[in-house]
Structure 1
Amino acid sequence: MKSTRENLGNIVYSCYAQMSRQGEHFVSDHVLSYQVAGNLILNDGFNECISESGSIRFLKRNQLLKFTKQPPPNEEFQSLSIYLDQQILKDVSLEYGLVSEKKRQDRSLLFLEADLQIKMFMDSLLMYQLSGKLSDPRLAELKIKEVILLLLQQDPELKDVLFDFNEPGKIDIEAFMNKNYHFNVNLDRFAYLTGRSLATFKRDFEKVFGLTPGKWLLQKRLQEAHYLLEKGKMASDIYLDLGFEDLSHFSFAFKKLYGLSPSKIIST
């Protein structure tokens, strides 16, 4: 069975037959997702959450996540996601006079309580998708506006999240990098998420860590790798989790720093 990912604008249907698909993702827009079948494991660097079949999750924008998609035995992983981009939220804000009044410090991942209306909406949206009805962008836009209003009915204060159009403010670069060093993203993404231009990010980074971002990231990732290898982990099991693109690059960098290949650390 092949894997599919149907992207109909801001509504995306995913279907995978593989046992698992691991990766990482920058969540640039708020996302409402319906887990149709299988499990999705999400990790933000500190916490791991499992989204099980039938659950509905809301991901806040501007965050980094690692994910593992697990299909049910002999079946397919299926999910339906609605991306609530800034433009459609601004349109809804103007149309209905909805504004953010305060900063909400919610967790980055919210599981919605069992709400019959939202569950029925997601089931109907899935039927629209499977029948090809959502190829009409006018209908897709109406359905997205509908679910925004349903979300606000369930949690009126969610407007303080949905209609907060501010970009990330300047935050503690040391705490942020120690949490997120293992995400394999460009420096400009790290800069944006810490509320800085790339030039300011590099300057502030060297003041705090005494190294360039590139050197510090490589050193930090390899130090963590050394620790995990001593604990009995295999190089093939950890290199992706630590932000390396391939095993050969990881092994080369590790040997250059420590003078030994990863396999030698395991055997000592």
Structure 2
Amino acid sequence: MESPTEILPGVLFYSYLSKEKKEKPCIWNHHTIILQVSGSLTLETAGQHISVEGSEILLIGKNQLGTLIKTPVTGGNYETIVISLQEDALRKIALEEKYQADRKYTGLSNMLIPFNDFLKGYFQSVIPYARKSGTEMTDELGILKMKEGVKLLLHAQPELMNLLFDFSQPCKIDLEKFMLNNFRFNIPVRQFAQLTGRSLAGFKRDFKKIFRLPPRQWLLDKRLAEAKYLIGTKKMKPSDIYLDLGFQSLPHFSRTFKIKFGVPPNRIVSDMES
């Protein structure tokens, strides 16, 4: 099983790997709980770098961009369970339990959840369903397990009430700051618009006012400028950076770089070393 398996559609996922894997840019549209069974997971966003080891729990906040590096334990495998806290389900829980955010959440977007006996028991109760690919899990049971997980998160960290149950629409955020922090991620422009709290038309309009260029042109120029800096100044290899800068293949990166700067990226390395 070398790719995530959907145990409960849209809610519960199971991942098992035997070798290290770096995921393409991920977009978390919903709050997400990650139960790390074995191996390690590294989350990288514009503002945070978090490592999760076996038997640890990570909460990832919604409306974010990032990458994941999945590493099997030495001599073993990588195993994780992912629970997506979809907003419709959280709204239903809020109605049933009378949960309500009473202020704006100001804490970290992503965090390790302190382990306790209740979470440990919950952790162990979910693993068998995941390993059996959900053959014994009904939709009703899956929702109950998600609800149990939410309650235990609140028991461990009550302040998460204001993160999980804030259903207000995302407001416009600082577009310039967001783009300068996240230009490396290769996602459609419409998703950049969504993450900054704008319609596509509003995003393009605001973007051009700030950067004086259309989004796609600015993104390409910014990524290539960053590549030139990393290769020429930091002496990094093109093969080590092209994926992290949003290019899908090394040949594509090399061609685009040459069109922009007149020389292929490996020529800059040679010039620096000569």
| TM-score after normalising by structure 1 | 0.96
**1:220 aligns to 2:222 (yes or no):** yes
Alignment partners' CA distance in 1, 2:202 and 2:32: 30
Question: What is the distance in 2 between the residues matched to 1:129 and 1:175?
Answer: 39
For 1:108-152, what per-residue CA distance to the aligned partner results, in whole angstroms no more than 9, with x for missing partners? 211011222112101111023324455311111111111111112
1:149-180 Cα deviation digits (max 9, x unpaired): 11122222211111111222111111010000
Do structure 1's residue 262 and structure 2's residue 265 form an aligned pair? yes
1:21-60 to 2 correspondence within 5 Å? 21-60=22-61
Q: Give runs of aligned pairs for residues 3-82 of structure 1, distance below 5 A.
A: 3-8=2-7, 9=9, 10-82=11-83
Partner of 1:114, secondary structure, is coil
1:253 corresponds to which residue? 256
Q: Structure 1 CA distance, aligned partners of 2:47 and 2:162?
A: 25
User: Is the Cα contact below 8 Å between 2:183 and 2:223 reproduced in 1?
Assistant: yes
Q: Structure 2: how far apart are the matches of 1:242 and 1:4? A: 24
1:179 equivalent to 2:181? Answer yes
Q: Residues 193-239 of structure 1: CA distance to partner in whole angstroms, max 9, x if unpaired?
A: 11111111111111101111111100000000001111211111101
Letter aligned with residue 261 of structure 1: P
Match of 2:102 in 1: 101
Distance change (3 Å), C-alpha of 1:99 and 1:200:
same
1:29-65 deviation per Cα after TM superposition (whole angstroms, max 9, x unaligned): 1111111111111110243211112211000010001
TM-score between the two structures when normalised by the length of structure 2? 0.94
The one of 130, 146, 149 equivalent to 1:147 is 149
Are the equivalent residues in 2 in contact too, given 1:27–1:62 (CA < 8 A)? yes
1:129 and 1:259 map into 2 onto residues whose CA distance is 52
User: Mind listing any 5+ residue stretches in structure 1 that lack a counterpart?
Assistant: none
**SS of residue in 2 equivalent to 1:191:** helix
CA distance in 2 between partners of 1:267 and 1:234 (Å): 11
Amino acid aligned to 1:38: G
Q: Which residue of 2 aligns with 1:188?
A: 190
For 2:136 and 2:114, locate their aligned partners in 1 and report how far apart those are by CA, in whole Å. 26
CA distance in 1, matches of 2:186, 2:40: 23
Distance in 2 (alpha carbons) for counterparts of 1:133 and 1:101? 40
Whole-Å Cα distance in 2 between the matches of residues 53 and 164 of structure 1?
A: 30
SS at match of 2:115: coil
Gap regions ≥5 residues in structure 2: none
User: Any runs of at least 4 consecutive aligned residues in structure 1 with deviations exceeding 6 A, and if so which?
Assistant: none
Aligned residues: 267
1:69-102 CA distances to partner (integer Å, 9 max, x unpaired)? 1111232110011111001101101111111111
Q: What is the CA RMSD across the aligned residues, in angstroms?
A: 1.3
Q: Which moved more, 1:4-13 or 1:252-261?
A: 4-13
Tell me if structure 2 keeps the 8 A contact 1:134–1:140: no
1:119-130 to 2 correspondences below 5 Å = 119-130=120-131
Q: Secondary structure at the match of 2:235?
A: coil
SS in 2 for 1:23: coil
Instruction: Read off the aligned partner of 1:185 and give its amino acid letter.
Output: I
